[in-house]
Amino acid sequence: METPPDAFSRDSPTIRAVKDITFGSIAGICSKFFEHPFDLTKVRLQSQVLDSSARFNGPIDCLRKTWANEGFLGLYRGLPAPVFGAMVENATLFLAYSELQELVRRVMKRPVTERSTLPQLAVAAAGAGMITSFLLTPIELVKCKMQVQMLVAPKGGQKPPGPLSVFASVVRNDGLRGLWRGHTGTLIRETGGTAAWFTTKEFVGRLLAARRRKREGEHSVTLTSAGNVELRPWESALSGACAGAGFNLSLFPADTVKSAMQTEEELRPKQAVGAKPLPKMTFWATFRAMYKAQGLRGLYAGCGITIARSIPSSAIIFLIYDGLSKHFG
Per-residue HEC secondary structure of 216-261 comes to CCCCCCCCCCCCCCCCCHHHHHHHHHHHHHHHHHHCHHHHHHHHHH
What DSSP designation does 111 have? -
With cut-offs at 50, 70 and 90, classify the pLDDT of residue 221: very low
- Rg over alpha carbons for the chain, rounded to the nearest Å, is 21
pLDDT at 1: 41
For the stretch 74-130, pLDDT in tens is 888 877 877 887 888 888 899 999 899 989 988 988 887 778 889 999 999 999 999
pLDDT at 49: 86
Please check the confidence at residue 6 and state whether its pLDDT lies above 70: no
For the stretch 146-161, pLDDT in tens is 888 877 765 556 777 8
Most confident of 124-128, 139-143, 301-305: 124-128
pTM of the model: 0.81
For the stretch 49-58, pLDDT in tens is 888 778 888 8
Mean pLDDT computed over every residue of the chain: 84
- 193's CB contacts (< 8 A; 6+ apart) are 129, 247, 248, 250, 251
With cut-offs at 50, 70 and 90, classify the pLDDT of residue 210: confident
The CATH architecture one would assign to domain 14-328 is Alpha/alpha barrel (1.50)
Instruction: Name the residue type at position 35.
Output: E
Please check the confidence at residue 274 and state whether its pLDDT lies above 70: no
pLDDT at 152: 72
Please check the confidence at residue 11 and state whether its pLDDT lies above 80: no
Beta bridge partners of 273: 276
pLDDT at 122: 95
Among 50-59, 103-112, 166-175, 214-223, the range scoring the smallest mean pLDDT is 214-223
Please check the confidence at residue 202 and state whether its pLDDT lies above 90: yes
